[in-house]
Structure 1
Amino acid sequence: MRAVLVVNPKATTTSERSRDVLVRALRSEVDLSVRYTRRRGHATTLARQAAEEGVDLVVTLGGDGTVNEVVNGLMSALPTTEAAEGSPAEQLPALATVPGGSTNVFARALGLPREWPDGASMILEGLRLGRHRTIGLGRADDRYFTFCAGFGVDAAVIHRVEGSRRRGQVSTPSLYFRSTLAQYFLASDRRHPAIALQRPEQPTEEQLATVIVQNTAPWTYLGDREVNPNPEASFDLGLDAFALRQLRVTSTTRAITQFFGQQPGPHGKQVLRLHDLTEFTLVARRPQAFQLDGEYLGEREKVEFTATPAAVRVIC
């Protein structure tokens, strides 16, 4: 089996020594080539090249941003519609992700352990046993995502956190909590909800204040705790959407508290939840912060979402 390991050398929880250990372990199972990312977006190019070379497996060592770039690189290598046969997962290399970031939502949602040595051991076992699963992806305009997207407050919070990290702060639950409070109380227009959610042949949901889209559950983790606006979301189904109609202190606090429970998940007059959607569009009267898989992508006034079933084979 031919494989490519895409390494983010800036991954927060790995070192050069640990990378060497991983490479040796993988080479005991596969014919491995190691490629390092040099800049933002480089993993996309490396993954596409690997797919075009006809490798059987692409392994990532990095965080959720590296995984997102690799997935987009793989999907960009799909043959044209005329030449395509079968699902995307049947035409592309398999994917394995060794958790190397600060949160590793995608890997943990697949059931991999949080720490990279345990995650690598589980992947090696999966390779030996031929164990894999096929998952769907979400797509926002022309970019795929593995576990979540955000339009509004949560994306603005990520933008704040990224700014703090560039100034040398460490990504911690405390940093996210402080950033959330600052965004909510100091920078959000809580009186004038601006977002509409449009679905084919369905009434438009108007005056939404913020929207979270999930391709799986959980949405993210707070340390070891799952955060679940849409606990029924699944890699095996379409997309789930959670929205708040207003950002009032009482109703918002209640909904966020419900994120940490199990079924039925957040509920109430100010909550909108939609399950297993094939396609929908978010439209805003003013630009909204936008994020995919925890990466801030700027402001948008419109984003079209679609579910892509059976997109990737994952070793887990």
Structure 2
Amino acid sequence: MRAVLLINPKATTTSERARDVLVRALRSEVDLSVRYTRRRGHATVLAREAAAEGVDAVVTLGGDGTVNEVVNGLMTTTSAGGQPPTAERLPALATVPGGSTNVFARALGLPREWPEGASMILEGLRLGRYRTIGLGRADDRYFTFCAGFGLDAAVIHRVEEARRRGRVSSPGLYFRAFTAQFLFGSERRHPAIRLERPGEDTEGDLATVIVQNTAPWTYVGDREANPNPEASFDLGLDAMAFRQLGVASTTRTVTQFLSNTPDPHGRQVLRLHDVDEFTLVAERPQAFQLDGDYLGEREKIRFASVPAALRVIC
């Protein structure tokens, strides 16, 4: 088996020594090539090159942002006829958790810490164990577990800016960013988003929208956050929107999706389950994120489910 290991050298939970251990372990199982990402977006290019070379597997060591870039590289590989290849013809994806949260890896059932996750990946490579999952697509960009339009994306933007100033990613940092955006952002006072679906009535005056391709949406430390607890890699997309961001109603809904038996509901909550496609349109530019990475502001995004898109080793 031929494999490429794509390493994000800035991964927050691994050291150079740990990377060397992983490389040696993988080389005991596969014919391995090791490549390092150098800048944002580089993993997409490297993954596309690996797929064109015909390797059997692409292994990532990094966080959810690295995984997202690799998935987009694989999914935008074209076959000889110019068509996207099927999951069976693409390299399988193996994800060794190396970021601060690792939502995608944990949603696949991998341990949070990279040594235990690497051990499961090695066993999966040895046994040829994989599953085929669906992906989400937002316009021309694929995502593995979540997208956000409005408040949650604006919070991620605040966190990314804080990390560039040297702050360490932590639940406390996200809580402070959420509080600041909730109190001072425009989402709460002036809901500006509408959700459009083919053949259905338009849902308007939405303050923020969370889209999921699997559950959970994210983790707060070890606790799952589940706005859409029935979301699954094997189904279409799920979405939850807040009609209003009142203090009492928002606190109640957040408490509901952080509970051990999540079931967010209420007059200010809109939820959709197993949806093939929909479009979000905003009266003014809204913050936008995919798989936990802030991608700027948009006024319109079309979301679609892409079933049975990719094989993953787990």
Q: Using structure 1 for the length normalisation, give the TM-score.
A: 0.97
Within a 5 Å distance, the mapping from 1:152-163 to structure 2 comes to 152-163=150-161
Alignment partner of 2:289 out of 286, 291, 296: 291
1:31 and 2:35 correspond: no
Tell me how far apart the structure 2 counterparts of residues 71 and 259 of structure 1 sit (CA, whole Å): 28
Tell me how far apart the structure 1 counterparts of residues 263 and 127 of structure 2 sit (CA, whole Å): 36
Could you tell me whether the CA contact under 8 Å between 1:197 and 1:281 is conserved in 2?
Answer: yes
Letter in 1 for 2:235: L
Alignment partner of 2:195 out of 194, 197, 203: 197
Within a 5 Å distance, the mapping from 1:63-82 to structure 2 comes to 63-79=63-79
Provide the aligned C-alpha RMSD in A: 1.2
Letter in 2 for 1:15: S
Partner of 2:45: 45
Partner of 1:228: 226
Tell me how far apart the structure 2 counterparts of residues 108 and 186 of structure 1 sit (CA, whole Å): 33
Tell me how far apart the structure 1 counterparts of residues 188 and 245 of structure 2 sit (CA, whole Å): 5
- Tell me how far 1:261 sits from its aligned partner: 2.4
Secondary structure of the residue that 1:175 maps to in structure 2? helix
Gaps of 5+ in 2: none
Q: Give identity over the alignment, percent.
A: 79
Could you tell me whether the CA contact under 8 Å between 2:151 and 2:187 is conserved in 1?
Answer: no
Provide, for residues 179-201 of structure 1, a one-character-per-residue CA deviation record: whole Å limited to 9, x for no partner.
Answer: 00000001234222110000000
Partner of 1:4: 4
Alignment partner of 2:257 out of 238, 256, 259: 259
Partner of 2:55: 55
Letter in 1 for 2:90: L
- Tell me how far 1:83 sits from its aligned partner: 5.5
Letter in 2 for 1:220: T
Provide, for residues 124-176 of structure 1, a one-character-per-residue CA deviation record: whole Å limited to 9, x for no partner.
Answer: 11111111100000000000000000000000000000000000000000000
- Tell me how far 1:78 sits from its aligned partner: 3.4
Tell me how far apart the structure 2 counterparts of residues 47 and 264 of structure 1 sit (CA, whole Å): 36
Tell me how far apart the structure 2 counterparts of residues 204 and 278 of structure 1 sit (CA, whole Å): 16
Within a 5 Å distance, the mapping from 1:115-154 to structure 2 comes to 115-154=113-152
Gaps of 5+ in 1: none
Partner of 1:186: 184
Q: Give the count of matched residue pairs.
A: 314
Could you tell me whether the CA contact under 8 Å between 1:242 and 1:274 is conserved in 2?
Answer: yes
Change (3 A) 1:54 1:208: same
Letter in 1 for 2:245: L
Change (3 A) 1:83 1:106: closer
Could you tell me whether the CA contact under 8 Å between 1:231 and 1:262 is conserved in 2?
Answer: no
Partner of 1:173: 171
Provide, for residues 235-294 of structure 1, a one-character-per-residue CA deviation record: whole Å limited to 9, x for no partner.
Answer: 000000000000111101000001112556100000000000100000000110000000
Could you tell me whether the CA contact under 8 Å between 2:77 and 2:84 is conserved in 1?
Answer: no
